[in-house]
Amino acid sequence: MPHQVPLEVEQEIDQRLTRYPDKRSALLPALHAIQGHFRYVPEDLVEWVAAKLELEAIQVMEVLTFYPSFRQKAPGRYHIRVCRTLSCAMAGSHGLMDALAEKAGIDRSHADHHHPICVSKDGRFSIEFAECLASCGTGPVCMVNDDLHEQVRPEDARKLLDRYS
Amino acid sequence: MSITYKAGKNPHPLEHRMIFRNIDREGWDPGIETYLGEGGYESLRKAMAMAPGEIQAQVKTAGVRGRGGAGFPAGVKWGFIPPNNTKPVYLICNADESEPGTFKDRYIMHQDPHQLIEGMVITAFAIGCHTAYIYIREEFPFAAKILEGAIEEARAKNFVGRNILGTGFDLEIHVHRGAGAYICGEETGLIESLEGKRPYPRIKPPYFPAAMGLYLCPTIVNNVETLCHVTHILKMGGEEYAKLGTPNNTGTRILCVSGDVQKPGYFEVQVGKVTMGQLINEMCGGLRTGRTLKAVIPGGSSAKVLRADETFKLKDREISIWDIPMDFDSLAACGSMAGSGGVIVIDDSRSIAWVLNNINAFYAHESCGQCTPCREGSLWMKKISDRIVAGKGSPDDVDTLESVAYRIDGRTICAFGEAASWPTESFIAKFRDELKAATSDSLKGAIVNPETKLAAASLKV
Ligand SMILES: Cc1cc2nc3c(=O)[nH]c(=O)nc-3n(C[C@H](O)[C@H](O)[C@H](O)COP(=O)(O)O)c2cc1C
Ligand code: SF4
Ligand code: FES
């Protein structure tokens, strides 16, 4: 079934369009609104966005595929991003990643640059490494959906996941 | 008035709180009434009674240098808008905060958003701008909401919107969210992104934003912290402000310390009035127990590394790493930069190859891919340091790594090229022996398949 953009999402996009002298500028806001609803940007909505902003589909695709925050496949219900960058790595973020993946039942053996996101079998969690989340003084840090968690030790992994059920 | 801070959040005696006065403060909230209760928007009232040129002159006198990375004087930058301009002028607040090691703007936006909005309205008035954007990184979803709420609060009080405070001046401020790409912090990449495109930086010249920025109109891009300083410059007057800090390095700035210290965190200091030694040993409680200092990256991960046992030459004296004053000019004289204020401390437990590899992985991931030297070079630097860390490097790899770095540096469209190559250049210049020792003589001359999967814990994506 093709995806339908709900009215309130379209209204949000219409409202954001008024903020720019040029419709194309509303592309990131439009993709955020769609991802905010579907948790990713379904392929069949690329044309919809293009029509809305009077763009070619390729102009939407090139943006969708460039930015790491936009997803083209559904993540888990709770998407985890663990900071990989220096200060967090020094504070143990690789151990945190391993512990979170294990406790969430996620196999990361096939993760690579082009497929950074891995999803648990039950679809509840997904995980990926992110670059510096601008909280380097309280590493290791991770985000679960919109929430930032600081100084998360590997032994806290279970407790953290239990907060999202 | 005495201010109390949350438990464990008291400013260190060496701090001078101005921008961070209300951060982690007991009883403080981001609402406008709280802000107004302590003289909020008084600077704006003062500014609106002045001529725009007068405000610009005050900011020039204050001498405040950009806090986003390059350290360019804000007042001078504003002056680059062509005088005969007839196009709309835009102001963009750079809230992308993505330079590794930097975590200051996040506190301002989450806890004291009106300080930023006040600075933006004053700045917009001074440069003749009627539409301003805050480009905020995607990973700050709550800050984006807080800012949107704060803009509406300010509108209700007539500090934003039409006919601000009855002066006839109109200004709209919009929040625009990024989507997880570091290069959107680079001002021309940011502008492309705001235009709804891939954030491919533009070449300068001719695309200096002040002349040809957003929609090819004059555009001033300033960092969050820089714009907050404008609020205080108006409050104090440029001359008083310039008494803070040291000559040519005026005001305060927020240093963010992370890595191997007892108490990492943020510290607002007068620029140049605190040394590296005071910062690490007094403000951060020193190194971890039993450890000694190995290196410091003083201004975000793009800044060249300083080795603990180096001697540095300032104009009038030779100093050790501990005595470096934390200001723009001194850190430049020491061969590095004050950059974004992100200080990453590295102790003797760390392998330099591992640290460099982590940094290389960042730049390989974040290159926008427009320029061949940067796109290919940053990935090669990662791959070569991958194999050194995995114990599969040959001694020649260190030289290859170095030559790749020098072939990026200076040959790219934007300053990311330098940001990506300076870590490798400086780590090799200063730790060549350690890096060579991490390689294996038996692999000299061996042909390595770059696609070979290397098994080392630190290499996982
Ligand atoms: C690769 C790269 C990344 C940057 N990232 C940021 C950033 O995250 N935040 C920021 O304020 N400036 C960043 N800058 C600096 C901006 O290009 C620009 O100089 C700055 O926003 C100007 O503001 P200021 O003069 O107030 O510092 C970056 C520069 C480069 C080359
Ligand atoms: S230097 Fe790198 S990041 Fe900058 S434009 Fe070129 S490829 Fe893109
Ligand atoms: S290094 Fe992890 S938040 Fe900056």
Pair B129, B232 in one domain: yes
Question: Is residue B52 a contact partner of residue B127, using CB atoms and an 8 Å limit?
Answer: yes
End-to-end CA distance of chain A: 28
What is the average pLDDT value for chain A, to the nearest integer? 97
Distance of CA A43 to the CA centre of its chain: 16
Confidence of residue A9 (pLDDT cuts 50, 70, 90): very high
Q: Would residue B451 count as lying in a domain?
A: no
- Of chain B residues 69-88, which have a CB less than 8 A from chain A? 88
With respect to residue A29, please indicate whether it lies within any of the assigned structural domains.
yes
3-state secondary structure of B8: coil
Q: Tell me whether residue A1 is in a domain.
A: no
In a shared domain, residues A106 and A33 = no
State how far the Cα of B209 lies from the Cα of B203, in Å rounded to an integer. Answer: 11
Residue keyed to tokens 């969708």: A64
Q: Please tell me the number of the ligand nearest to residue B101's CA.
A: 3
Whether a cis peptide bond, with omega within 30° of 0, leads into B325 is: no
Please give the residue range of the domain that contains residue A34.
7-66
Report which of residues B305 and B440 the model is more confident about: B305
Helices (H) and strands (E) in chain A, counts: 7, 5
Mean pLDDT of B412-435: 98
Which one of B120, B182, B186, B231 would you pick to mutate in the ligand 1 pocket, going by the greatest count of ligand atoms within 8 A of its CB?
Answer: B186
Domain end: B320, B342, B364, which one?
B342
**Same domain, yes or no, for B234 and B254?**
no
Predicted pLDDT at B266: 98
- Report the amino acid identity of residue B169: F
Asked if A48 and A121 sit in the same domain, the reply is: no
Segments forming the whole domain that contains residue B413: 352-443
Are B92 and B226 contained in the same domain? yes
CATH number at residue B232: 3.40.50.11540
Q: If residue A82 lies in a helix (H) or strand (E), which one and from where to where?
A: strand A78-83
Residues A59, A25 share a domain: yes
Q: Are residues A105 and A45 in the same domain?
A: no
Q: In the predicted model, what is the mean pLDDT of chain B? A: 96
Whether residue B5 is contained in a domain is answered as no
User: Can you tell me the mean pLDDT for B8-37?
Assistant: 98
Q: Which long-range contacts (CB under 8 A, 24 or more apart) does B404-408 make?
A: B404/B377, B404/B380, B405/B377, B405/B381, B407/B373, B407/B377, B408/B373, B408/B374, B408/B377, B408/B378
Contact call for B102 and A136, based on CB within 8 A: yes
Q: How close does chain B come to A68, measured CA to CA in Å?
A: 5
Average pLDDT on B167-186 reads 98
How confident is the model over B13-24, as pLDDT tens digits?
999 999 999 999
Please indicate, yes or no, whether residues A157 and A83 belong to a single structural domain of this protein. yes
User: What is the tally of structural domains in chain A?
Assistant: 2
Same domain, B368 and B259: no
B320 and B181 within one domain: no
pLDDT at B290 over 90: yes
Residue B363 maps to a domain: yes
Q: Lowest-confidence range among A84-88, B44-48, B212-216, B442-446? A: B442-446
| Same structural domain, A50 and A85 | no
Whether residues B64 and B198 share a domain: the answer is: yes
Same domain, A49 and A96: no
* Residue B442 pLDDT level (bands cut at 50, 70, 90): confident
Strand partners, B319: B312
Statement to judge: residues A45 and A22 lie in one domain: yes
Torsion B304-B306-B307-B312 (CA) sign: positive
Q: Taking 90 as the threshold, does the pLDDT of residue A148 lie above it?
A: yes
Q: Are residues B410 and B337 in the same domain?
A: no
Average confidence (pLDDT) over A37-64: 98
Residue B267 clears pLDDT 70, i.e. is over it: yes
Here the tokens at position B97 are 């905060």
Q: Is the residue at A101 inside a domain? A: yes
Average pLDDT over residues A84-93: 98
pLDDT of B2 reads 84
Burial class of residue B454 in the structure, from the number of CB atoms within 10 Å of its CB (0-12 exposed, 13-18 middle, 19+ buried): middle
Closest atom, ligand 1, to C-alpha of B97: 8
- What's the 3-state SS for B407-454? HHCCCCCCCHHHHHHHHHHHHHHHHHHHHHHCCCHHHCCCCCCCCCCC
- pLDDT > 70? residue B454: no
Does residue A84 share a domain with residue A61?
no
| Domain annotation covers residue A71 | no
Residues of A in contact with B458 (CB under 8 A): 89, 94
Q: Which CATH number goes with the domain that contains B268?
A: 3.10.20.600
Q: Which residues of A touch B176 (CB under 8 A)?
A: 19, 25, 28-29
Let me know whether A16 and A59 are in one domain. Answer: yes
Question: Considering the entire predicted model, what is its pTM?
Answer: 0.97
Give the end of a domain, one of A21, A42, A66: A66
Tens-digit pLDDT profile for residues B101-113: 999 999 999 999 9
Does B235 share its domain with B256? no
> Mean pLDDT across the stretch B320-343?
97
**pLDDT higher than threshold 50 for residue A39:** yes
The CB density around residue A114, as the number of other CB atoms within 10 Å, is 6
A73 assigned to some structural domain: no
Single out the residue in B217, B243, B269 at which a domain terminates: B243
- Interface check A135 vs B, CB under 8 A: yes
- Does the residue B452 lie in any domain? no
Closest partner residue to A24 (CB to CB) among B131, B140, B196 is B196
Say what the pLDDT of residue B457 is: 43
